[in-house]
Amino acid sequence: MNLTNSSKLTSLQGLIQLLIDYLQEIANLGTDTNYSEELNKKIRLTNQVCVTIIFICFPFVLIYNKLGLIIISSAWLLVILLFVGLLVINYFGFYNLSRYGLVAFGNLSIICFSIFLGEPAGKHHFLYAGIAGAFIIFSKNEIWAKIYAIGLPTMSLLLIETTFTEPLLVNSLSIDTIQTLNVLNIIFAIVFITLNQYYLYRENAISTERMQKANQQYEQLTKELETRVEERTAELREACRSNIPGSPSNP
C-alpha cells in the first residue's frame, strides 16, 4: 500500500516537474542575455500572464461547446489564439508590442464576454486583475505605459457597469451557471499562478545557490591569490637581500 502511494506521489511530482519545465521554456521566450535583468523579468512575466490566460480559456472552449453554445466556445478559442499570437510576437523580440497587446487583448476579451453574457455574469470583474497587471508588466519608469494599462481597464469597467446590464446574446445558461463557471475560472487561475510562483521560487533558489557558490569560489580564489602574492613578495625580498653587498646572504 505504501509502495503504491509512493509510486503515485513520484508520478505526480514527475508530472508537476514536467509542467514546470514546460512553463520555464515558455517563460523564457524572447529573453536575451544582452537585455537588462529588469527587462528580461518583464518579458517573462508577460509570457506567464499570456500562458495563464490560455490555460484558463482552454477548458471553457470544451465546456461551452459541450453545452451547445458554439459562439461563446469560438470566442474562447479566439482569445486563446490572440494570446498565442502575443507569445509569438514576444519570441521575435517585439516585447513592447507584446505588452501593449496584452493589455488591449485582455480588455477586449473581457468587454466582449461582458457585453454578450451580460453584466450580472460578473466577467467584467476580471478587469480589476487587468488594473493590477499594469504594475507587473510595466516598470515604474514607464509612466505613459502605466497610464494606458490602468486607464483602459478602468474605462472599460465604467462602461460595462453603466451601459451593458442586459446580455446581447440569448443563451440557455442561467446567471448562476455562468457565475459558477467564473468561479472555475478563478480556481484554474489560482492553480496556474501557484505553479508559476513555484517556478519563480525555484528559479530564485537556483540563482541564490549559484550566487553563493560564485561568492565562495571568489573568496577561495582571493585567498589563493593573496597567498601567492605573499609568497612571491617573500621570494623577491630574499632575492633583493642576496644582491645587496654586505648582507648576510651576500657577504
Residue whose cell numbers read 510576437: 89
b/e code 140-170 from CB counts within 10 Å (16+ = b)? eebeebbebbbebbbebbeebeeebeebeee
Report the C-alpha gap between 126 and 186 in whole angstroms. 9
Cβ-Cβ contacts under 8 Å for 8 (sequence gap 6 or more): none
DSSP state of 247: B
What's the pLDDT at 69? Answer: 75
Number of residues that make up the chain? 251
The answer to whether the predicted template modeling score (pTM) of the entire model surpasses 0.75 is no
3-state secondary structure string, 73-114?
HHHHHHHHHHHHHHHHHHHCCCHHHHHHHHHHHHHHHHHHHH
Q: What is the pLDDT of residue 24?
A: 72
pLDDT in tens, the chain (251 residues): 555 656 666 666 667 667 667 767 777 777 777 877 777 777 887 887 788 778 778 887 888 788 777 877 888 888 888 888 888 888 888 888 888 888 888 777 777 777 666 555 556 666 666 666 666 667 677 777 777 777 777 777 777 777 655 655 555 566 666 667 667 766 766 666 666 666 666 666 666 677 777 777 878 888 888 888 777 777 777 777 666 555 455 55
- Whether 146 and 134 have beta carbons less than 8 Å apart is answered as yes
CA 127 to chain centre: 19
Domain residue ranges in the chain: 33-211
Closest CA to 46 of 87, 7, 104, 11: 87
3-state secondary structure of 244: coil
* pLDDT for 38: 75
b/e for 20-56, b at 16 or more Cβ within 10 A?
beebeebbebbbeeeeeeebbbbbbbbbbbbbbbbbb
Angle (deg, nearest 10), helices 175-243 and 2-27 = 80
Using CA atoms, how far apart are residues 26 and 42, in angstroms rounded to an integer? 13
The three-point CA angle 228-234-235 to 5° equals 90
Smallest Cα–Cα separation from 55: which of 11, 87, 33? 87
